[in-house]
Every structure is written in C-alpha cells, then in structure tokens.
Amino acid sequence: MAKKHHSMIKTLTVLLVGIGLIHAPLALGQDTKSLDIGKRWGKYLTLLQEPDLAGTGDGRDVWRVLWLRSFHPAVAVRVVRDGDSLSIITSQLRPLDSARTALRRDSVPVPLAVWDDIHRSDAARQIWTTVAPLWEGISLDGALWILEAREGNRYHAVEWWSPSEEPNSYGYRILVLQILSMGGVRVPPDAVY
C-alpha cells in the first residue's frame, strides 16, 4: 500500500508540474550531481533576464540565489566578483497587478569585503559538497531556495525545498537570506517560507 501511495504521489507531482501548477523540488529521482539550473528553471531565468551560470565561463566568480515562492514573485540576487570589483545584481518580478514594469532590476557596486562576508559561514564553505535532502511529498505551497556558486572552473547548485530552521538546513537558510538582503530584497517574516 505504501509503495502504491508513493507512486501515486509521484504521478500527481509530475502531472501538476507539467501543467505549471506547482514548482517541483527534487523528488523524482533526479541525480543531484548533475543539477542543471539553467535547464530546469530557464523560464524564470529568462523572465528575470539572468544568465545560465553553469553554461557561462566568463572568468568571473559568481554566486546567485534564485528564490521561487508559491505566493510571491520570483527573485534572483547575483553577487559577481570581477578581479578587484564586486557588484550585486538584483532581479525581481513584480506582482501581476502592479502598475509598474514587470521587472525590478538593480545593479550596485559593493566593497570587496562583502565577498569575504559571504564566504565566512560554514554553509558557504560547504557549498561545493552540499546536497539538499530529497523532498518526498507533494505541496501546493512552499518555496525553492536555489543557491548557485561558480568560481573558476567549479560550479555547484543546491536546490532546497523550503529549508526550515532545523540544524541540517539552518545555515543554508541564513546564507540565502543574507544574500537576498545584500540585494536589497525586503521580506516580511510571514513571507519567508
């Protein structure tokens, strides 16, 4: 019975993802070592006017948060180090009922020390080996917290479905929120999920 139930959940998840009703966290047996954010979430990257970090090797070191929440517009914050300069690029879709343009996009230079601030946490030091737990369920609400890092020839992405304040995901959650804050993304506590 449990196997049949699990199979039905997977089938329903695939169906709902296919028609665009839900975001699909890693739950369907995908190999996390070959996670390709550009292919998997390309439609959001296009709307946000963001590059595919895995597919570009322009010599700059880049970290990016892509935050896809069920009830809020998509957000990307990219921290780009180019030699001795550092900039933060924020792209945020606006709600559909907004009278303003569909995309907020800012780019600001920041002190190089910000790069060190990001790399100081345990979660940042462990990014190259972090694999989020597979999500074994179905949910119509929640959020994908995606963190990508490209430094030199190395690239790694972590896709976490609504990381909690539990010890195994707390450091990752704080790091993502720190990068979002650096990008000027203001999030009320009830919108963090």
CA–CA dist 16, 177 (Å, integer): 28
CA–CA dist 7, 138 (Å, integer): 12
Mean pLDDT lowest among 71-75, 130-134, 173-177 = 130-134
* Residue 56: Cβ within 10 Å count: 13
CA–CA dist 142, 25 (Å, integer): 10
Q: What is the pLDDT of residue 185?
A: 92
- What confidence category does residue 97 fall into, taking pLDDT thresholds of 50, 70 and 90? low
CA atoms within 13 A of residue 114's CA, in its CB half-sphere: 22
CA–CA dist 1, 123 (Å, integer): 39
More confident residue, 134 or 132: 132
- Residue with the two structure tokens 């070959």: 34
- Residue with the two structure tokens 């993304």: 185
Encode pLDDT of 72-87 as tens digits: 899 999 999 999 999 9
Closest CA to 115 of 123, 107, 124: 124
Residue ranges making up the domain that contains 169: 2-191
Mean pLDDT of 29-41: 65
- What confidence category does residue 98 fall into, taking pLDDT thresholds of 50, 70 and 90? low
Mean pLDDT of 139-154: 87
- What confidence category does residue 71 fall into, taking pLDDT thresholds of 50, 70 and 90? confident
Encode pLDDT of 3-27 as tens digits: 554 455 445 444 444 444 444 444 3
Query: Does residue 93 sit in helix, strand or coil?
Result: strand
Q: What is the pLDDT of residue 133?
A: 77
Mean pLDDT of 50-78: 90
Q: For the chain, how many structural domains are there in total?
A: 1
